[in-house]
């Protein structure tokens, strides 16, 4: 098949962040499919365009076997809410233009992965004008998550978002959701028929973790990065409003009499504020690192005792899986899960760590102290999570399942 994918956050080679779609497209091209990606020019945590894209609206490049068009995104994207909104709309328009006039050849299907939600309109118009089926993927229940976290408050924008959501769901030939809660919500609350829905979740990247598990010198890495003698809990991901990482600062403060070190790796709108807050409060056992390439992220995870998955305490987040949960599992690390709902259920089904109620600092304190002198528990839960992920969330297996569903609608 010849596949057109629209993904605003498709990663550059060696970019930090979740590489789910980079891995899916790699598997598909290795199976003989052709993939063209329309992607944005701004990393979701980046502050500005890289030099290669400055002053340009479209850049065509090859990334492995994938043909990629980088499309304009406003540099106001990470400055404020209006800038973020304009970043979404600017990519909607630029990807629409690229899909109609830049991406050459006859495509069998167009796939759009969201958020942002509005790019679904681009995918729909491209599918109609170029006469091919339209597949839509829901990685996050938007606009609900933006409303619950207080990011989206304008009633007119909320109304527009719900209209666009309903329009896209109605016109997509196939809708993929990432969690069972999304599946249930779309069926029961949004009225989407079951024969239109599939669930291909986030997954573990064993291709990288298994190599590192054999060759990685953990002691040397810990010494090189000043981690010796510390009980390291690593969080990898966005530093945004939705993550509410201030709760990690609070946990660090109450655990200051221990050797616990929280390592926070990533970027986001809240990062500078969090760094300043840690300095003001003299919290010395929370360390901030900038985003690093994925291979280095895995090194930090392997050098840690636990991995942390953290979100704000709002009901919408009870429906989501955290990307990095699966990376922690693939690295045989138990998880400190500060996300309720399906993420907690996943953790408990896998016997892969401990749940702490989000923003409940006394629970952070109680649970982490239980692990401090129990290396056997760390090993047992890490191994259990690895086995569970290998059986249920292997990225290559899920990529092949996904392309099978897409092939079915193309044949029809």
What pLDDT sits at residue 18?
A: 64
Q: Give me the percent of the chain exceeding a pLDDT of 70.
A: 97
Q: Which domain holds residue 339?
A: 206-392
Question: Can you tell me the distance from the alpha carbon of 135 to that of 43, in angstroms, rounded to the nearest whole number?
Answer: 23
- In a shared domain, residues 151 and 98: yes
Q: How many whole angstroms from its chain centre is CA 338?
A: 16
Rounded to the nearest integer, the mean pLDDT of the chain is 92
Burial class (CB in 10 A: 0-12, 13-18, 19+), 83: middle
Provide the token pair at 41: 């020019």
- Between 78-92, 96-110, 189-203, 234-248, the lowest mean confidence (pLDDT) is in 78-92
Residue 340 CB neighbours (<10 A): 18
What pLDDT sits at residue 51?
A: 86
Any idea which residue has 């709902």 for tokens?
341
Whether 267 and 297 have beta carbons less than 8 Å apart is answered as no
Phi and psi torsions of 114, nearest 5°: -130, 150
Of the pLDDT bands very low, low, confident and very high (cuts 50, 70, 90), residue 16 is low
pTM of the model: 0.83
Q: Residue 15: is its pLDDT beyond 80?
A: no
Report pLDDT digits (tens) over 193-221: 999 999 999 888 787 788 888 889 999 99
Report pLDDT digits (tens) over 311-366: 999 998 999 998 899 999 999 999 999 999 999 999 999 999 999 999 999 999 99
DSSP state of 102: I
Report pLDDT digits (tens) over 107-123: 999 999 998 888 999 99
Whether 342 and 182 have beta carbons less than 8 Å apart is answered as no
Q: Residue 35: is its pLDDT beyond 90?
A: yes
Question: Can you tell me the distance from the alpha carbon of 149 to that of 315, in angstroms, rounded to the nearest whole number?
Answer: 10
Burial class (CB in 10 A: 0-12, 13-18, 19+), 276: exposed
Provide the token pair at 157: 């924008």
- In a shared domain, residues 298 and 166: no
- In a shared domain, residues 189 and 240: no
Q: Half-sphere exposure (CA, 13 Å, Cβ side) for 75?
A: 10
Report pLDDT digits (tens) over 381-407: 999 999 999 999 998 899 999 999 999
Whether 405 and 174 have beta carbons less than 8 Å apart is answered as yes
Residue 51 CB neighbours (<10 A): 7
Q: Residue 270: is its pLDDT beyond 80?
A: yes
- In a shared domain, residues 387 and 399: no
Whether 398 and 201 have beta carbons less than 8 Å apart is answered as yes
Phi and psi torsions of 213, nearest 5°: -60, -30
- In a shared domain, residues 307 and 384: yes
- In a shared domain, residues 346 and 405: no
Question: Can you tell me the distance from the alpha carbon of 100 to that of 304, in angstroms, rounded to the nearest whole number?
Answer: 47
- In a shared domain, residues 63 and 191: yes
- In a shared domain, residues 164 and 132: yes
Q: Domain containing 114 — which CATH number?
A: 3.40.50.2000
Closest by CA position to 289, among listed 281, 279, 297: 297
DSSP state of 283: -
Q: Residue 20: is its pLDDT beyond 90?
A: no
What pLDDT sits at residue 19?
A: 79
């Amino acid at each position: 098949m010849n596949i057109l994918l629209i993904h605003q956050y498709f990663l550059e080679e060696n970019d930090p962040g979740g590489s789910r779609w980079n891995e899916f497209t790699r598997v598909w091209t290795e199976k003989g499919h052709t993939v063209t990606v329309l992607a944005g020019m701004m990393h979701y945590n980046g502050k500005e365009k890289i030099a290669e894209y400055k002053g340009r609206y479209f850049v065509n490049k090859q990334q492995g076997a994938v043909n990629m068009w980088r499309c304009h995104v406003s540099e106001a994207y990470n400055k404020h809410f209006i800038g973020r909104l304009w970043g979404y709309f600017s990519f909607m328009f630029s990807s629409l233009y690229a899909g109609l006039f830049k991406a050459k050849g006859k495509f069998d299907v167009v796939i759009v992965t969201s958020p942002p939600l509005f790019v679904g309109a681009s995918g729909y118009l491209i599918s109609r004008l170029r006469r091919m089926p339209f597949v839509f993927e829901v990685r996050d229940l938007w606009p609900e998550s933006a409303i619950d976290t207080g990011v989206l408050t304008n009633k007119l924008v909320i109304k527009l978002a719900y209209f666009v959501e309903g329009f896209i769901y109605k016109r997509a030939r196939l809708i993929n959701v990432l969690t069972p809660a999304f599946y249930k919500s779309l069926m029961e609350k949004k009225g989407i028929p079951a024969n239109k829905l599939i669930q291909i979740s986030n997954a573990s990247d064993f291709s990288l973790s298994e190599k590192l598990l054999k060759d990685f010198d953990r002691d040397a890495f810990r010494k090189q990065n000043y981690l010796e003698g510390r009980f390291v809990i690593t969080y990898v991901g966005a530093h945004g409003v939705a993550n509410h990482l201030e709760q990690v600062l609070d946990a660090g403060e109450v655990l200051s009499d221990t050797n616990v070190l929280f390592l926070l790796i990533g970027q986001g709108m809240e990062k500078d504020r969090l760094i300043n807050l840690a300095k003001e409060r003299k919290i010395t056992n929370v360390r901030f690192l900038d985003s690093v390439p994925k291979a280095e992220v895995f090194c930090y995870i392997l050098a840690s005792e636990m991995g942390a998955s953290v979100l704000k305490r709002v009901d919408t987040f009870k429906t989501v899986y955290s990307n990095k949960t699966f990376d922690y599992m693939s690295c045989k690390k138990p998880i400190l899960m500060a996300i309720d709902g399906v993420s907690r259920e996943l953790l408990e089904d896998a016997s892969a760590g401990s749940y702490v109620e989000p923003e409940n600092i006394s629970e952070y304190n109680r649970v982490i102290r239980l692990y401090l002198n129990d290396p056997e528990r760390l090993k047992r839960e890490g191994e259990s999570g690895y086995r569970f992920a290998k059986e249920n969330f292997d990225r290559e297996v899920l990529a092949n399942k996904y392309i099978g569903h897409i092939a079915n609608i193309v044949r029809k």
